[in-house]
Amino acid sequence: MLYFSDFCFDTQHQVLYQRGDVVSLNANQAKLLSLFLEQPTKLLSKEDILSYVWPRKILSDQVVFQTISQLRTVVGEGAIKTFPKRGYQWQLAISDVPLSEHALQYQPKNFLLQNKLAYLLCAVAVIFVTSVYWWMSIKEQQQMHAVTGGHQQFANWYVIPFATRDVALSKQALGDLNNKLAQRLIPIEVSNTESDQALVGAWRFFASPYMVRKKHLSASNPNGVLLSGVVYSYQLTEQQNPRFILEYLAQGSHRDWRGYLHVHSLAELEEALYNALEPVLMSDFFNAPSQSAATAELATLVARYPEHLALLQQLIERQIEQTEYDIADAQIEKLSTLAVAQTQPVYVAYSHWLRGELLLELEQHQLAMQQFEQTQSLLAEINLLALQSEVSHSQIDVEEVNKDFARIQTYLFRAASHARLANRPKQEIRAYTLLSIKAAKLNLYKERYDYLKQAELLIDDYQLDDSHRMLTDYHWALFAEQKEEKLRHYHSVLRRPVTLDNFWVFFSVTEQLINYAIEQQQWEVAESLAKGITEPTRQSYLLAKIYVAKHQPEQAIQYAASAFNLARTQGIDWIGLEMALVLLELLQNDTDSAQVTLSKRYISNTAKSWWLERHQQRLQQVGVEVNSY
């Protein structure tokens, strides 16, 4: 651990803390900070930095400038000094122990207590991380403690009895497992009114986790977590005893948590589940206010539990989404190695799937398909049909490049078939809605309507709640040729229940209706629609658009600045970039404004080359030079 200013940096796991709190850094920022801290007196050239942070890649000097600028935003402008045409050098004092009392006495008195607390928290963080291995050595003692303290540990957790469709599983064995879970978690039983529905218990929960949680918990316990699972068995040979896989799902107020466990007997499953859930029990993952905060929490948990497969898998998915491809690649290799060592075949397959997703992002389509096919083969061996259905969607992404509808159709039919066999209606419906969209893109008009109608029939057959109709309503609106028909379907969308999964549809339709209202100068309608979005960042974004259209710059600046600041803290880059550009357009005559400086810096640090190219004309009009690389 290295200390500077009010920060401490975990050099082993490359995690930065400030006053005890984790500071969000992407992989390249963390590597650059590590380089500066390892060689604080050296004048580092751009070539030094490029070869260390981006080895074996050919990139422009602009990448170095942007990453240093991003790092300065975090650790302070004075931390890194630029020597023109020579390089960069670290400027702050570094210690491998917290600052001494002698050093602290030169701090302003009103900061003394705060800094002491910061160093204490950093020290605690060091002790915690290094004690992980000690914890593993006394695992049996901890497990005994978990048994005696289970009720307190899971005080806010509820459970719907686990289910199976596997004839090899005895009802008594599954019943025993559910009885044990009910002693540690708060049980939720299936009511008599639900017993005649197409989906009950765990199966309905997996189809609509947010709505089922809302029904049982939202009023009585808004921060409660609802858990359920599905158990599978498989045999690689007739002589082999059955082995068991648990797919579990925990739904919180802001997000869910999924994972898989592989055991040789059901007797092992209960304790394996508690061990798998322990990290999230001790974290704020479910209640983190934004995706960026949740990602930072995941990074912290991976540092504490470096061999936890579900943690690692979820972090890799977010790293790929955030284009942190180098670190994702290394983490995928780690996941594969750990999965083999721990005999967890689901995660062995998952590592191939994630590598395929990474290669797809890098436009290596043939290599990506090879990884997806390997994933399908491994999942078929353990009969995990629900995941096979999901992987088929990834294969479609590859085939879409070739615009071969026949092959796309084949993969989506396979996805729907696997989903039906696995009793996963949500995935089956998704396959048909995707078929409809793919057909529409290729101007296959009859097929697009047929598949969309099939999706609606499935919603009826499975008796799913109306939240599932939001996407089909949206697609009907996209296909509508007359504005009146389009508006009718848009308003149907707004009447459907909003969930974590379909919020993006609700927001997209709201924005489109606001655009229509602006065209007609129906300002009250536009503002009413914007205020229907209760999430503050997106509401401010919409109100800024409205006041720009109304030519009311003061209100537009107010809402644009609010959206800009919220988006930056939450990692919602597309809103942050749009609002930064709007602010530059509104403040063209106030070039000395701090807001102008912040907006330009944000665009320089955050925008990808495709975004810069798309907005090149607007950027040039506000004096932002575009250097795509």
- Rounded CA gap, 116 and 593, in Å? 36
Residue with the bigger pLDDT between 542 and 4: it is 542
For residue 417, what is the enclosing H or E element? helix 405-421
The single-letter DSSP state of residue 591 is T
Q: Is the pLDDT of residue 493 over 50?
A: yes
The pTM of this model reads 0.72
Q: Is the pLDDT of residue 224 over 70?
A: yes
Q: Is the pLDDT of residue 98 over 70?
A: no
* β-pair type (157-159, 186-187): parallel
If you average pLDDT over every residue of the chain, what do you get?
85
- The amino acid present at 494, given as its one-letter code, is L
Mean pLDDT across 338-356 = 95
β-bridge partners, 8 = 3, 17
Res 627: pLDDT: 63
Instruction: Give the C-alpha distances (Å, rounded to integers) separating 143 from 135, 149, 271, 592.
Output: 11, 10, 8, 61
- Rounded CA gap, 345 and 16, in Å? 33
Tell me the three state secondary structure of residue 99.
Answer: coil
- Rounded CA gap, 118 and 107, in Å? 14
Per-domain residue ranges for the chain?
2-130, 535-621
The single-letter DSSP state of residue 261 is E
- Tens of pLDDT, residue by residue over 317-329, are 998 987 788 889 9
The arrangement of secondary structure in 2-130, i.e. its CATH architecture, is Orthogonal Bundle (1.10)
Res 198: pLDDT: 65
